[in-house]
Chain A
Amino acid sequence: MRHAAARKYTCVIRIIPISALPSRIPPLAITAYTATSAAARGNDALADALATRRSGLRPNDLTDLPCWIGRVAGLEELEFPAQLARWESRNHRLAWLGLEQDGFHAAVQRAVERHGAARVALVVGTSTSSIGETERAYRELSPDGHLPPAQRTSRVHHPHSLGAFVQDVLGVQGPALTIATACSSSAKVFASAERLVRAGIADAVVVGGVDTLCGSVIYGFNSLQLVSTEPCRPFDAQRNGLSLGEAAGFALLESITVDSTAPRLIGYGESADAHHMSAPHPDGLGAERALGDALARAGIDARNVDYINLHGTASLQNDAVEAALVARHFPATTAASSTKGWTGHALGAAGILEAAIALLAIERGFAPGTINSRALDPACGPQIRRDNEQRRVRIALSNSFGFGGNNCCLAFAAADA
């Protein structure tokens, strides 16, 4: 049925004008960042899990569906501060846990002192926000079809609940928005943030992404036959679908004059496939445009890229299209991998989680490989690696592709790249 729909659309696609490449942008310093996922709480534990190839995936114990999930342990038992009780939801618990790692919360306080709260903007990404709370309320509807009284709060039942919650916790007062473009959401936050700074609207931007496992995504992806019954095997010739995960991650972007030694955001590209709601363009045209725009904004060539954290969901179509894209554009010296075998696919939080992994690769001098995969798909070029590698990473990319054919490619660099 989906393919029938795709054919209908093909006939109305018009000739795409060749658009000019974007201009180079001034880099921004990433003065703090952190990620929490099934693999680890915070950056040190994440680097350790990556180095020791320890997966965070486990059999699904959140719903009845037989599959593997990347669940962040201990969220339900977490002591959630009483003053935040009105925000109660699994998603906000994970957001709060994520904000408390790696001194991130304190770093934002220092940025507020430097620039003033109104000059610190907030751009976060999510795909389902706290809909898990809405699902819970629907399981407890009154006989006449109303939400239980305790759930009649508008705070947790809409997409921007996440942005409003993080804003409340951090006390930042600049423009605040939630981007919800499915699995590219928290990659695109970097692009919006860079523009807010370049336009003079903000001096610092907190970016981030939080998504939690819930019925909507587990049963929704299952309905599309995209969920594997075993731990996902990105780029494996025998891969058979993804493992869903959850994560919270944040980064703080400021002028490089604030910290000239911090790693940098040097480029990004955003694009649409104009092809299908839940399948990638077979030739990767949208992804290719995002990549080309990211390299152009960074003022670099594909040959300069040391490591790429791929979208690599382990779905049949994504990995085939992305492997071909990498093989077409990059030399054999570029290392590329998917880290979803460690974390599962964190959906709207995948962009920030994998941006953090790209930044760790730069700062700690290693390129993670790919776990769970036994024999790589023949479509993979020499760039796609199973093994971890100790190496200097000066420039790293991160790919994120979402439903609706929504693509984002980010480019990061060491300060001395």
Chain B
Amino acid sequence: MNGSIRMRIEGIGICAGAWCDWDTARDALRHNREFDAAQATRPSPALLPAAERRRAPESVLVAIETAQQACSMSKRAPADLPHVFACAYGDLPINDYLCATLARAPLDVSPIKFHNSVHNAPAGYWTISTGCRASSSAISAGDATFATGLLEAAVLAHTEAQAVLLVVYDVPATGALRDVVDCDVSFAAAFVLSPIGQAQDGIADLRIDVRPGVLAPEADVLHACGVRNPAAHCLPLLAALARQQQTTLQARLTPGTILTMETLF
């Protein structure tokens, strides 16, 4: 099989707890400081018009803020970049609102909340605020959402020979959804990935590989990060990048396939 793809990580964005950009996160990860969800502040991405910044749901704010940071670091124009927004659960507060309103008074459903409930709402706001008309995707893959989103973005960059933006995010559950959704903190990260040979600079190379196999839970480093948010499964990769550590990480894509990620400096 020939499922290996090598690419350049040109930019990173992060919005999670006290980490409001890659510099802050890199510093904390280098010094082995624990991720602290408690100090989160509401991001205010400059790309969104002021009125939208005030009323946009948290999912849109964190996704756009990190996407903007990653593009800015890569020095690539957002309007040029095909993108993949990966989110396991969708906008949980809006789903909570919709289900609660439907149970109580279905004709009261807010049209804005409804169109913001689509899984691609953050991607849609991103295209509107950047003028990007490239391919725009929004995916979900349960616990494997980060690994699958990385694969989807890498395959897109590789086959189209084009730099791609990947955004991974999830926001905490509210209301009764807390009974069934294992997500109680906000976490978002973004990566600009470019095919080797087109890279303009960047942080590191990343080689990914898909192979058959069953990954034991303890070998799945992406689940060892201890943060209750599927987007935080990128933490071990972020740590390796922060420490400039040449390493190989493994994540379960499905019960029978493994994604291998190798950082190269």
Contact = CB atoms under 8 A, between A and B. Distances in A.
A and B part of one assembly: yes
Contacts, number: 264
A173 B255 contact: yes
Contacts of B151: 175, 201
A406 B131 contact: no
Contacts of B212: 116, 118-119, 173
A174 B134 contact: no
Interface string A158-199: 111001100100000111111111100000100110011011
A127 interface: yes
B106 A199 contact: no
Interface in A4-37: 5, 8-9, 11-17, 19, 22
A285 interface: yes
Contacts of A192: 137, 152, 155
Nearest to A144: B176
Contact of B253 (A175, A195, A271, A402): A175
B165 to A, nearest CB: 12
B121 interface: yes
A117 B80 CA distance: 36
A216 B52 CA distance: 24
A216 B103 CA distance: 10
Contact of B148 (A138, A176, A405): A176
Chain A: interface residue count, which band?
A: 35 or more
A192 B153 CA distance: 10
B130 interface: yes
A16 B131 contact: yes
B15 interface: no
User: Max chain A CB contacts within 10 Å: which of B102, B107, B110, B177?
Assistant: B102
Interface string A190-225: 011001101111000000000000011001111111
Contacts of B129: 9, 12
A271 B134 contact: yes
Interface stretch (B1-9, B26-34, B67-75, B199-207): B1-9
20 contacts: A19-B134, A22-B160, A63-B106, A119-B1, A127-B119, A154-B182, A173-B255, A174-B257, A175-B253, A180-B119, A181-B120, A182-B119, A200-B1, A219-B102, A219-B106, A220-B111, A272-B132, A403-B124, A404-B138, A406-B124
Given A12-B129, A118-B256, A199-B158, 19 more contacts: A12-B131, A64-B106, A147-B176, A158-B140, A159-B88, A173-B212, A175-B148, A175-B253, A180-B140, A182-B119, A188-B137, A192-B152, A270-B82, A270-B136, A271-B133, A271-B134, A272-B135, A402-B120, A406-B124
